[in-house]
Structure 1
Amino acid sequence: MTAAQKPLRRAGLLSAVASMLWPIQAWLVAGALESLLTGKPVSATAVAMGFAAIGLLRGLMHWQAEAMAQTAADTVVAEVRDRLVHTEARRAEDGSRGGAGAIAALATEKLQMLVPYATRYLPAQIRVSTVPLLILALAFWQSWAAGLILLISGPLIPVFMALVGMAAKEASARQMVEIGAINDVLVERLSALLDIRLLGAGQTVEAAFAASAGDLRRRTMAVLAIAFLSSTVLELFAAIGVAMMAVYVGFTLLGTIAFGTWGTGLSPAAGIFLLLLAPDFYQPLRDLASAWHDRAGAAAVADEVAAWEADDTTAVPGTGQRSEPLEGPASIRLSGCVSASGAPLPDISIARGESVALVGPSGAGKTSALRLMAGLAAAAEGSVTVAGRPLTDETADGWRSRLGWMPQAPHFLHASIRHNLTLGRPGDLDAALKQAGVDAVVAGLPKGLSTRLGERGAGLSGGEARRLTLARAIFSRPDVVLADEPTADLDAETARLVTEGLMAEAERGATLVIATHDMDLARRMDRIIRIGDRT
């Protein structure tokens, strides 16, 4: 929150100055009431106008302070959210801070918890450090006994807040973790909803989710219980302090108590002035106490943001923006690289127009090799050369603009089929659909190319979704096509359609690299490269 410290401090100081105007109003009221009690002449109109003018000024200053704090807080949240979204969009693999659900929770509801901290707690903290000191000085000026009452009772509130704060922060941190975890669970269950329904596991999944929701509810209530308990006790301390001041002033004015003043007796005006000041002495402390829960929640969120920023997972090379194609032959070379698990990969050299199959056991590094070739992951060791140039942040965007990528798990945007396939690029959509063998499927949909797809291709079978990803990969007639397990889990006819679509790209002259367990497909390539095969 470094960028917003200055405007937040200015907002807090403005709020404190506005609160410091109350003693002037209190003195006007005290003088007016004393005149009524003693019969002294006083201009009620002047007192009322002065009181109203100062009150209006106080209101305007408080409003301006709140507006400044709100603007600064919104700016901070927006900056952190933009940085989080930008970083996650370029992250090469899932980080250690949770899945998509946890990151979404952090970017939305959790970051929003910084706003009340900035708009309520920080200004209250500045008021606490200034306003009570002024009122305490004014109280001692009128009566040393009144000053002692405030001096003794006031510090009890911050001491109790510190004790409660430790428990509140721990409870808030547990709640933050639970919110992220339950969001991850929800995303996973929604993505597997079709499988859950097919397996008849709906009741089991629902019961498990209900249990997680119950745990979160209990943690939330625990945090609220601490907040309500602390507020109740602090209100009690403040009420006791005001009551003690009222007792002292009342008995002094009645003549029962004859000590506590600086030589002269306590006048009615001074007594009323002290009674009006006492609540405002405790008010900043009460404001700070009520915002203490905001501080605890914000501290937990700040810790999570700091942990997220410390996550050292690698980013996708380049900026992810559309770029001019990288010039040079569509060739690829991996040298001294390792897989995501750290296993060494063989040196691979693929010439322009060559078709190559990467085969090997599961987990050997076939997908890692493809991701390195596509510039979707940075090489932890070794080097990647594409089009005769090292694959770096400067060349990655231009290289990817020449690629067609077919991942193993189909994934779509929540948009029309047309947008999912073209992604704003020029090309022959009908030809791509026909080559992928999915033209009849699209034609049979109620809205055709305008049919909207969910992220998992709702309404499509697995084979149909796989063929759509093939159509997307070949739509712009790329120079290089990279396919990860393109025929896995497909029936024979669908596998044949996908295979023929890929081979058509090889016949067109595109460089074709596939990672596969399908040896029938592998044998149709110009060359087979074995990865991690110890046999």
Structure 2
Amino acid sequence: MKSSRRLASARIIAPVARQLRVAGVLSVTSGLIWPAQAGALAWAISGWVTGEMTRTGIAAALFILGGVLSALLTRAAGACLFDAADRTIARERAALILREARARADVSSAEVAALAVQKLPLLQPWITRYHVAMVRVAILPLVLLAVTFWFSWVAGLVLLVAGPLIPVFMALIGMAAEEASRRQMVEVGTMNAMLMDRLSAMLDIRLLGAVENASADFQDRAEALRVKTMRVLRVAFLSSTVLELFSAIGVAMVAVFVGFTLLGEITFGSWGTQLGLGEGLFLLLIAPEFFQPFRDLAAAWHDRAAGLSVLAELEELDTTGRVAFLGTARETAPLRGPITLALSGAAVAYSDRILPLPDFKLNTGESLALVGPSGAGKSTTLEAIAGLVPLARGRITVCGKTLDEDTADAWRARIAMVPQTPHFADQTLRDWLDPDADEAALRIALELAEADRIVRRLPDGLDTRLGETGGGVSGGEARRLMIARAVLSRRELILADEPTADLDPETAQLVIASLKRLKDAGHSLIVATHDPAVFGAMDLTVEVGS
């Protein structure tokens, strides 16, 4: 528990500590205005009873002025708090996305997305409510208790006994709340990962007739999330019940004491003179406000538990082993020299084993096929060539220089990748291909990739917006469009991962034809494939995993 508090202070609170302090001062100042308002109200009411109506105007003016001032202070405090929360969430989200983009971890992308989109916003109520509630509960009850003791030691004693019991029970319940929130956060991430997995395999699920089983699995996971969410709510209701019980008892005892004192049934409890109507009303107005900071803290206690659960996930993800790519991913001038590539004794650390890569050389204008069984390392070899995974041993030489941190960005400026799974951004096909290319360049690239007829068939031609996975075109058409994009990038080396996978023979031949035209146009090619027709069209064939 102590370590989690230190971690929260260092990572979440410290960067915005100044704003939180300002908000705390403003909020406490706003709370200190209430005793003055309560005094003005009690003074006015006692004046009505005694017939001194001249007090009314002055008391009303004081009450309204205090209300306006309190509202302005509360608004200023809220602005500081929400700005601090927005800054914190933006900082953590940017760090998360940057790190995951640069270094892959063995964590589902759905879980990372759930953390970035669904869970990080849970830090906002923690920052905007919990910290200022802690400041208020440390100051306002003590001030109101001192004011109460000034008028009546009995009323002060009632509040003194009832007040401290609330934090004790809150601390006991808070331990259960934190554990329940942690389990709920884990279930949210697991459910997102399961959803993404089922969506990506939806075609296979339907072909295998497993739709009902997949639906049942999802219902079970949803039910597990519901159960964990209800546990969090039960803890919240329990803590609220305990708080309201002690608050109600405390206020009721003060009300009973004041009532019987004004009736003359109780003649003790004040300092010398008996309580009058004004003093009694003042105590009745002060008593509920004594418990209000505890109410605010109880509400924010669950926000703190949820925030600590999110922080625990962030820390766990921080310590997860990951593989960083070479370079800085910044735009730089292309590496000089003719396109040459050589792998010598290279191997990468893949999961829990060392995966050796094949030795080969590629010269300018040559084409090469990487062949081998699934899992042999064909895709990993392409990633290593692009500097996306570091080597555990051996060497990759590009353009006569070692591929390392200093040369990776310049080397990537000369290569283009055609991934197995297409991905289209939310923009027109023209902008996705190349926003700076003219009509002639676009036409040449599309013809080279055997994709010109695809564009003519689309309803809006180059102004068509395709879905993220290429909705509106087939798999083979999407890959030919990706080849056209690689051509427009003016990169000399093209890396293609399984370009004919899952395609019918006729469509596969069109993709192969586009690759051959790329080679004839002077591009160098490296293709990872299972297809004999593909590696039969390449100059060289290299066995991976042999």
Q: Give the Å deviation of 1:208.
A: 2.8
**CA deviation after TM superposition for structure 1 residue 66, in Å:** 1.0
- Give the conservation status (yes or no) of the 8 Å contact 1:332–1:386: yes
How do 1:209-358 residues align onto structure 2 when only pairs under 5 Å count?
209-339=218-348, 340-341=350-351, 342-358=354-370
Match of 2:457 in 1: 444
CA contact (8 A) 1:139 1:146 kept: yes
| Amino acid in structure 2 at the alignment position of 1:86 | L
- Secondary structure of the residue aligned to 2:322 is coil
Instruction: State the distance in 2 between where 1:415 and 1:198 align.
Output: 32
Find out whether 1:44 has 2:56 as its counterpart: yes
Structure 1 residue aligned with 2:390: 378
Offset from partner CA, 1:28-83 (integer Å, 9 cap, x none): 23333344445668532222212221221111111111111111111211222222
What residue number does 1:366 align with?
Answer: 378
* Mapped contact 1:415–1:454 kept (Cα < 8 A): no
Q: Distance in 2 between matches of 1:188 and 1:448?
A: 33
Partner residue, 1:121: 130
Task: Pick one of 402, 420, 434 that aligns with 1:408.
Answer: 420
Residue 421 of structure 1 aligns with which residue?
Answer: 433
Q: How many Å apart are 1:181 and its aligned residue?
A: 2.1
Counterpart CA distance in 2 for 1:314 and 1:474 is 29
Write the letter of the residue equivalent to 1:363.
Answer: G
CA deviations on 1:110-129 (whole Å, 9 max, x unpaired) are 11111111112221111001
| Paired residues of 2:434 and 2:485 also in contact (CA < 8 A) | yes
Per the alignment, residue 505 of structure 1 pairs with: 518
Deviation at 1:164, TM superposition (A): 1.8
* Counterparts of 2:383 and 2:435, CA distance in 1: 20
- TM-score, normalised by the number of residues in structure 2: 0.89
Q: Distance between the aligned counterparts of 1:358 and 1:458, measured in 2?
A: 29
1:514 is aligned, of 527, 530, 541, to 527
The CA distance in 2 between the partners of 1:217 and 1:316, in whole Å, is: 39
Superposed counterparts of 1:26-45, under 5 Å: 26-38=38-50, 43-45=55-57
Partner Cα distance (2:534, 2:127) in 1: 60
The residue correspondences of 1:101-140 to structure 2 (distance < 5 A) are 101-140=110-149
**Secondary structure of 1:467's aligned partner:** helix
Task: Find the aligned partners of 1:261 and 1:348 in 2 and give their Cα distance.
Answer: 96
Q: How far off is 1:371 after superposition?
A: 0.6
Does the CA contact (< 8 Å) of 2:449 and 2:518 recur in 1?
no
Check if 1:478 corresponds to 2:487.
no
Residue 156 (structure 1) aligned to one of 162, 165, 182: 165
Change over 3 Å in CA distance of 1:381–1:34 after alignment to 2: farther
CA contact (8 A) 1:425 1:476 kept: no
- For 1:70 and 1:171, how far apart are their aligned partners in 2? 26
Contact 2:332/2:410 (CA < 8 Å) preserved in 1? Answer: yes
- Rounded Cα–Cα distance in structure 1 between residues aligned with 2:389 and 2:295: 52
Give the structure 1 partner of residue 15 of structure 2.
Answer: 3
Paired residues, number: 530
SS at match of 1:412: coil
> What CA distance in whole angstroms lies between the structure 2 residues aligned with 1:69 and 1:182?
32
**Aligned twin of 1:459:** 472
Percent same amino acid at aligned positions?
50
TM-score (norm 1): 0.91
What is the CA RMSD across the aligned residues, in angstroms? 2.5
Between 209-218 and 61-70, report the one with greater CA deviation. 209-218
Q: Which amino acid aligns with 1:478?
A: R
Structure-2 separation of matches of 1:528 and 1:192: 32
Return the letter of the residue paired with 1:448.
G
The residue identity in structure 1 corresponding to 2:464 is: T
Report which stretch shifted further, 331-340 or 244-253: 331-340
**Distance in 2 between the 1:53 and 1:163 partners?**
41
The corresponding residue for 1:532 is 545
1:408-464 superposed Cα distances (whole Å, 9 cap, x missing partner): 233332433333333656782223322332332332233333332222222333322
Aligned AA (1:9): R
